[in-house]
């Protein structure tokens, strides 16, 4: 009996090794993110293997395990990309950062790019005009300005005509400022919602007839903060959470029209969304000016002054290599079967899994250690802690 169990366990190990090799080969060949596949599917299969080996009889267990492995292998997507010929894509927020890089990237591979910018005479717009091909067109587009959105729509419609617009990439976004949710001025919450959410809705509604005509792609650049709580990001995360749900519902609404919807959830990348150090200082002063006296007293000057260091901290830990995001947006636009969700960047998939599937106290302790935005306590908590020690 013991010999039979040993043989059965050995067979499971051999099958697992063989299956893992075949899966990794197919994932690499088709440029599927191995980390996503490993967490979402390979982990459940490992648990199934343990169940089949330890609970079920050898014949039934092996049969069930082999069927599950075969089904998973067959479901791994094969990377088939569409041609870029004749495909027009509108990108918002191309003055700098990710939108600027994405406009160049898509232009280089032959996409007809409409690059929406806040200032057509600005430095970023002038650089795009200088280095890009004649296919790229600059569009004056403030996503919070209904008149500019309508003018942009009329301009694009006159050019694409019956072909329609193949893709919209909602990239324009603002962070505002990082601080405890209680400290953030209401103006920061409003700005984040206006740009990151309401602006996306306005642009989508205006351009949707062109997108439906082409049976194209709607792509939103959300954030890991859009489905995972991160300390200090109350305003930004709330707007990205609204954006994420909007994207999810639009995927269902647009399915009947043949329009495919994707959401990109990057982790920390170095873009201009953090603003300059001067901007950070002005926001810091705005917080101080808008705090009620008792709130200012509870938090203390030392705690509030430490907010200024967050700009340097965020810039330091963010990755300057934007290529993972660019590649995922390109796949969302041009793959025959795009994914609904993309998670480019370090731990952009694992951290949300930790929040969703583990006990909340596990994630809270992880977030406290990993995303701690302050190394000191507010003054009232320091005094309370000191009094407790004296008692």
The residues annotated as belonging to the active site are: 236
HSE toward the beta carbon, residue 297, CA cutoff 13 A:
3
Spacing of C-alpha 291 from chain mean position: 32
What are the tokens at 228? 């995972």
Angle, helix 199-214 to helix 146-160, in steps of 10 degrees: 10
Query: Which residue do the tokens 């920061």 mark?
Result: 188
- 30-58 burial, b at 16+ Cβ within 10 Å, e below that, comes to eebbeebbbbeebeebeebbeebbeeeeb
Backbone phi, psi, residue 182, to 5°: -70, -30
Contact 138, 115 (CB under 8 A): yes
Distance set, CA 309 to CA 233, 272, 275, 312, 374 (Å): 15, 17, 13, 6, 9
Measured distance CA(298)–CA(305) in Å, rounded: 14
Contact 189, 235 (CB under 8 A): yes
- Give the β-pairing of 112-117 and 217-221: unpaired
Q: Which of 283, 252, 55, 250 is nearest to 178 (CA)?
A: 283
Measured distance CA(362)–CA(348) in Å, rounded: 17
């Amino acid at each position: 009996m013991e010999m039979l169990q040993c043989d059965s366990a050995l067979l499971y190990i051999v099958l697992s090794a063989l299956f893992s090799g075949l899966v990794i080969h197919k994932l690499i060949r088709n440029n599927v993110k191995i980390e996503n596949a490993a967490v979402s599917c390979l982990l459940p299969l490992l648990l199934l293997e343990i169940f089949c080996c330890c609970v079920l009889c050898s014949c039934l267990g092996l049969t069930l395990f082999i069927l599950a492995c075969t089904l998973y292998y067959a479901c791994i997507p094969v990377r088939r990309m569409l041609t870029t010929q004749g495909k027009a894509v509108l990108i918002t927020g191309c003055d700098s950062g990710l939108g600027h890089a994405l406009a160049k990237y898509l232009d280089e591979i032959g996409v007809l790019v409409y690059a929406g910018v806040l200032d057509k005479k600005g430095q970023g717009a002038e650089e795009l005009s200088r280095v890009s091909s004649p296919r790229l067109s600059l569009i004056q587009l403030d996503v919070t300005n209904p008149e500019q959105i309508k003018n942009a729509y009329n301009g694009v419609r006159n050019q694409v005509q019956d072909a329609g617009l193949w893709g919209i990439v909602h990239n324009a976004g603002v962070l505002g400022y990082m601080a405890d949710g209680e400290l953030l001025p209401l103006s920061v919450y409003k700005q984040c919602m206006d740009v990151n959410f309401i602006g996306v809705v306005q642009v989508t509604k205006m351009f949707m007839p062109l997108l439906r005509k082409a049976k194209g792609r709607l792509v939103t650049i959300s954030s890991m903060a859009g489905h995972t709580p991160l300390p200090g990001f109350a305003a930004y995360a709330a707007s990205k959470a609204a954006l994420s749900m909007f994207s999810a519902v639009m995927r269902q609404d647009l399915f009947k029209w043949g329009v495919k919807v994707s959401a990109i959830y990057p982790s920390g990348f170095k873009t201009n969304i953090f603003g300059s150090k001067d901007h950070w200082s002005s926001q810091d002063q705005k917080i101080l000016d808008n705090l009620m006296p008792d709130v200012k007293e509870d938090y203390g000057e030392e705690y509030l002054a430490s907010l200024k260091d967050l700009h340097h901290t965020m810039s330091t830990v963010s990755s300057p290599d934007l290529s993972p995001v660019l590649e995922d947006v390109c796949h969302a636009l041009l793959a025959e079967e795009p994914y609904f969700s993309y998670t480019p960047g370090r731990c952009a998939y694992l951290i949300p899994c930790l929040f969703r599937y583990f006990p909340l106290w596990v994630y809270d302790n992880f977030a406290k250690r990993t995303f701690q935005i302050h190394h000191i306590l507010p003054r009232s908590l320091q005094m309370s802690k000191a009094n407790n020690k004296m008692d």
